[in-house]
Chain A
Amino acid sequence: MRRMAKIGFVSLVAIVCATAGLAQSPPWKANGEPIPARPDLVVHWQSEAKFPRKVWVYNLLPNKFSPEVISNVMTLCSFTGKDKNEDDTNGISFQSSEPARTLSFSFTSGKIDYETPEIQYSPTNLAIGVPSTNELSGLVKNVLGKMHIPFSEITGWHGTHKIDFSEPVTVFSVGDTMVTNVPYRTVYFRRTVEGMPIIGHFYRFNVGEHGKVTKISIAWPNLERVKSYRTVSPKDVVNFIRSGNAIRGPVPTTIGDIDWPSVKSVTIKNATPSYQINGDKLYPFLRLDVLVEIGNGAVEIGMDCPVIDETKL
């Protein structure tokens, strides 16, 4: 019996691995836990989002950043030509020794990475001149413009924000007094393609003391349309959930486990056609914000399901 189970399991492994490239096993299925089919499940549709009539699969292509972009970012990060330590067809990189800072452009992946060493602060040595979020808002367009990233092709995380902010905080205990330090603030956003966000990839840059950029982590490959597909309808989405053609994300630990067979109802609050990077492609799918009634309360979770008829891929 064990051997039989192994064969079945390994077959499943083989199936998943063989199809991980694109078609038969859509990448969104790896994002969470499969839900079982529940043909009788009550599903309410409350999303006001409108789907595009069709969506595209894209190829991700190299981005040989223009000399203007490279020059802008070099200036932004205080590098000169003397700091260049690699320059070939795959990319270009810069390095300074005091302090040790690195800036790299990968043409093959379209990535810009800038790293600086972490500064050690103390109650008597606090960060000075870190811009507030209000001040950062004015900086963002300027920084993105230097990288030729169109403001129209980004989106934030909260509601309709185009960008969002976060910050690490340190609170030093000095006797009974608390001394707070914010070493930098992070600007983060997602790339959108035809208005659809690429999930799982938040691009960001940190701004530290005196408004200096201290970190950049952005990937902006060029795109090439491969093929378009007609999108499904909300009714199809409801059927995907009922037939188990969806996955669900984790639950917050304030909430109990979700026993899907005993779920009372699912309310789709928001449905966002999205893209997921899958190898060298962008793959379209639907990300859902749902409210799940679990009997002793409700929990808001994320779910993924098809946005196109994947049986025709």
Chain B
Amino acid sequence: MQYNWDGTDNGTNLPNGLYFYYISAVTNGESSEIVSGGSGGGGGSPPSPEFMSSGSSELWAVAPDSENIVPLAIYPPGFDTNDFTIFSASPSEVASLSAAARPESEFTTDSGGSFSPDYTGGGGSSASSQNASPAPQRPPNNPIRGTVGTIGIAADTYTGNGTNGLSCGPLDNGLGLGLDISVYTPQYPSGNTGATTNPPRPEHKIEASTFVNTMQYYGWKNPLSEIDSQLNINDLRGSGSPYNNVDMAVVMFHGTYGVGSAATDYAAESCKQMYYAVGTGGRGNYLRLSEMDLGGSSPTNGLKWMVIDACFSLFQGNWSSMQSHGVKPYNGNMHLILGATTETWTSALKWYNFAKYMNYGKHIYSPFTIRNAYYQANTDAFENAPLPDGTEITLAVAGDSACMGDTLQTNTPPGGSWEWVSQPIYP
């Protein structure tokens, strides 16, 4: 069944967003709703409970002339899926299947990830155009009206020095006396003032493309993508950061935090804080969290939400130290910073989940708050994953108290009071 939509609600213009059609048919004189959906542009009705799937399995599709497995749910109601291969499986089964079917070398290329939807409604972008797989035929009218917003992404794979990774630091403590800050490393949990090795993270490319492609499916534009050498560390420093000109930004780095007797950072009001390794050719440099000034002044395209996907990116003790020393890596326009207070773990699935849950929800059209989407995306991604005994993953969100309930569809202006919240998501 196909339906030509003119982009309006019975002639009334709608805000930009992804919309799901309600199509009803009359059978034997009785009205029977056969397809349900909601509206991504705000104000839409939730779908009927019949649409809810049970258990962890969901339907997946492989389009003709494509090798990509994508959730069937990404295809709009009415989309012709007659020639598709459709099957039921859990996300982890599909992840395993995709990994098995994907050439090993594909992990280190720029091609789209296994969970990258072929159907991208948000227009071209750098990451999307890198996907070499042919897209299925689109429905007669794109169900996305305009664009929802913009995302920026920065990631480092630390491959500028081959398999050796990038050396980073030591980091002067700000006194200019040749004294360096001691930071956490897995080898020196109580602190190390020497240079640290940041191993290659080629997975960051597939994680980034998974997030970008899924967001694009839901209508988001991606005007800013900086991977490896495209990223200048100064792009993340200060109020002039180009990342302050997108609605949501995601950065993927190695992260650490100051620990031990030499952890005081005199370059930042003598606080203890977090550091992220950013590569420049065959070397890495530390970006101080205090060097950021997150938050965009534009009410329509300014930065509101930032994900710092790095280990210990929002380590509790050091976040509190920054706050108590008046060191704030954000301005009055910022809503939320999402990160972790423990190590984080690799998963393309968590990025697919995160984008889907924020834009659509899990089983039915019921978008999560950004914060809960972040938590649930990670919980679901690691539910069955073999993690070593005793592993704990605790995420953290720091943000304006008024914005903790922000969704992509509706957000509240910052009120000026910040809080930091942790949430154990594994086990």
With contacts A31-B96, A170-B421, A173-B419 taken as known, whether A302 is within 8 angstroms of B387 at the C-beta atoms is: yes
Q: Evaluate contact between B385 and A32: CB separation under 8 angstroms.
A: yes
Q: Are A256 and B158 in contact (CB under 8 A)?
A: yes
Give the residues in chain A near B319, CB-CB below 8 Å: 171
Q: Which residues of the other chain, B, contact A249 by a CB distance below 8 angstroms?
A: 385-388
A residues within 8 A CB of B424? Answer: 166-168, 186
B75 interfacial contact with A, CB 8 Å: no
In chain B, positions 285-344 with a C-beta closer than 8 Å to chain A are 309-311, 316, 319-320, 323-326, 343-344
State the Cβ distance, B378 to closest chain A Cβ, in Å.
11
A30 to B392, CA, bound (A): 21
Is A23 engaged at the interface, CB distance under 8 Å to the other chain? Answer: no
Contact between chains at A178 and B323 (CB < 8 Å): yes
**Which of these binds chain B: A11-19, A60-68, A73-81, A135-143?**
A11-19
Contact digits for B85-125, partner A, Cβ 8 Å, 1 yes 0 no: 10111101101110111000001000000000000000000
Q: Please, how many angstroms separate the alpha-carbon atoms of A167 and B346 in the complex? A: 23
CA gap between A5 and B68 in the complex, in Å: 11
- Is there an interface contact between B87 and A17, defined as CB atoms closer than 8 Å? yes
Interface check A188, CB cutoff 8 A: yes
Max chain A C-beta neighbours (<10 A), residue from B87, B186, B346, B385: B385
The closest CB in chain B to the CB of A295 belongs to B163
Q: Among residues 138 to 164 in chain B, which have CB atoms less than 8 Å away from a CB atom of chain A?
A: 158, 163-164
Q: A254-B311, A296-B199 are in contact. Are A169 and B386 (CB under 8 A)?
A: no
**Contacts A9-B62, A169-B421 hold; do A30 and B158 have CB atoms under 8 A apart?**
no
Q: In the assembled complex, which residues on chain B have CB atoms less than 8 Å from the CB atom of A151?
A: none
- Residues on the B chain within 8 Å of A287, using CB: 386
Q: Are B419 and A172 in contact (CB under 8 A)?
A: yes
Which residue from A158, A253, A300 sits with its C-beta under 8 Å from B311? Answer: A253
What per-residue 1/0 map shows which CB atoms of A1-31 lie under 8 Å from chain B?
Answer: 0110110011011101100100000000111
Do A247 and B386 touch (CB < 8 A)? yes
CA distance A295 to B427 in the complex (A): 30
Interface segment out of the listed B1-9, B28-36, B169-177, B200-208: B200-208
Q: How large is the interface on B (under 10, 10 to 19, 20 to 34, 35 or more residues)?
A: 35 or more
Report which of A12, A13, A167, A199 forms a contact with B384, defined as CB distance below 8 A.
A199
> What 1/0 flags go to A281-310 for Cβ under 8 Å of B?
000000111000001110011111000000
Q: Which single residue of chain B is at the shortest CB-CB distance from A259?
A: B163
Number of A residues, CB within 8 Å of B:
66
Question: Which of the residues A5, A122, A177 comes within 8 Å of B324, measured between beta carbons?
Answer: A177
Determine whether the beta carbon of B423 is less than 8 Å from that of A12.
no
CA distance in complex: A176, B422 (Å): 20
Q: Mark B183-201, 1 if CB is under 8 A from A, else 0.
A: 0011100000000010111
Does any Cβ of B come within 8 Å of A34's Cβ? yes
Name A154-199 residues within 8 Å CB distance of B. Answer: 157-159, 164, 166-174, 176-178, 186, 188, 199
CA distance A186 to B427 in the complex (A): 11
Interface status of B11 (Cβ within 8 A of chain A): no
Contact of B96 among A166, A168, A247, A250 (CB under 8 A): A247
> Is the Cβ of A173 less than 8 Å from the Cβ of B389?
no
| Residues A304 and B93 in contact in the complex (CB < 8 Å), given A253-B346, A296-B165 | no
B69, B87, B345, B389: the one contacting A289 at CB < 8 Å is B389
Within the complex, which residue of B64, B200, B344, B423 is in contact with A257, where a contact is CB–CB below 8 Å? B200
- Closest chain A residue, CB of each to CB of B346: A250
B165 CB contacts on chain A under 8 angstroms: 256, 296
Q: Which residue of A lies closest to B253 (CB)?
A: A253
Q: What residues on B are CB-neighbors of A149 within 8 Å?
A: none
Q: Which residues of B contact A169 (CB under 8 A)?
A: 316, 421-422
Inter-subunit contact A173/B323 (CB<8 Å): yes
B392: chain A residues within 8 A (beta carbon): 166
Kindly provide the distance from the CB of A275 to the nearest chain B CB, expressed in whole angstroms: 12
Report if A251 contacts B (CB, 8 A): yes
Q: Is A17 a contact of B88 with CB atoms below 8 Å? A: yes
Against A, the Cβ 8 Å flags (1 = close, 0 = not) of B268-299 are: 00000000000000000000000000000000
Which residue of chain B has its CB nearest to the CB of A29? Answer: B96
Q: Residue on B with the closest CB to A189?
A: B427
Total A-B contacts with CB atoms under 8 angstroms apart: 183
**Contact indicator A173/B418 (Cβ below 8 Å):** yes
- Whether B421 contacts A302 by the Cβ 8 Å rule is no
Q: Which residue of B lies closest to A159 (CB)?
A: B390
- Are A256 and B199 interface neighbours, CB within 8 A? yes
Asked if A276 is at the interface of the complex by the 8 Å CB criterion, the answer is yes
Asked if residues A253 and B163 are in contact (CB atoms below 8 Å), the reply is no
| A87 beta carbon closer than 8 Å to chain B | no
Collect the chain B residues with CB atoms within 8 Å of residue A289's CB: 388-389
B329 to chain A minimum Cβ distance, whole angstroms, is 13
Are A12 and B100 in touch, CB under 8 angstroms? Answer: yes
B419 touches A170 (CB 8 A): yes
- B382 within 8 Å of A (CB atoms): yes
The complex places the Cα of A188 from the Cα of B319 at a distance, in Å, of 27
Give residues of chain B (25-83) contacting chain A, Cβ–Cβ below 8 Å: 62, 64-67, 69
Q: Is the CB of A252 within 8 A of B343?
A: yes
CA distance A200 to B426 in the complex (A): 10
- In Å, the complex CA distance between A169 and B203 comes to 30
Could you tell me if A253 and B419 are in contact, using CB atoms closer than 8 angstroms?
no
Please, which residue of chain B has its CB at the minimum distance from the CB of A255?
B199
Q: Which of A247-273 contact B (CB under 8 A)?
A: 247-257, 259, 270, 272
**Do B386 and A168 touch (CB < 8 A)?**
no
Chain B contacts of A30 at CB under 8 A? 89-90, 92-93, 95-97, 384
Other 5 A-B pairs with CB < 8 A, given A17-B89, A173-B418, A250-B346: A32-B385, A157-B427, A202-B427, A247-B96, A256-B199
- B residues in contact (CB < 8 Å) with A: 62, 64-67, 69, 85, 87-90, 92-93, 95-97, 99-101, 107, 158, 163-165, 185-187, 197, 199-203, 254-255, 309-311, 316, 319-320, 323-326, 343-347, 382-390, 392, 394, 401, 417-424, 427
29 contacts between A and B (CB under 8 A): A3-B65, A12-B101, A13-B62, A13-B87, A14-B87, A30-B90, A31-B385, A33-B96, A33-B99, A159-B389, A164-B427, A166-B424, A168-B422, A171-B419, A173-B418, A178-B323, A186-B424, A249-B387, A250-B345, A252-B311, A253-B346, A254-B186, A257-B107, A259-B163, A270-B389, A276-B384, A296-B165, A297-B199, A304-B386
What 6 pairs between A and B have smallest CB-CB spacing? Answer: A256-B199, A302-B386, A249-B386, A30-B93, A166-B424, A200-B384
Chain A positions within 8 Å of B, measured between CB atoms, are 2-3, 5-6, 9-10, 12-14, 16-17, 20, 29-34, 122, 157-159, 164, 166-174, 176-178, 186, 188, 199-200, 202, 247-257, 259, 270, 272, 276, 287-289, 295-297, 300-304
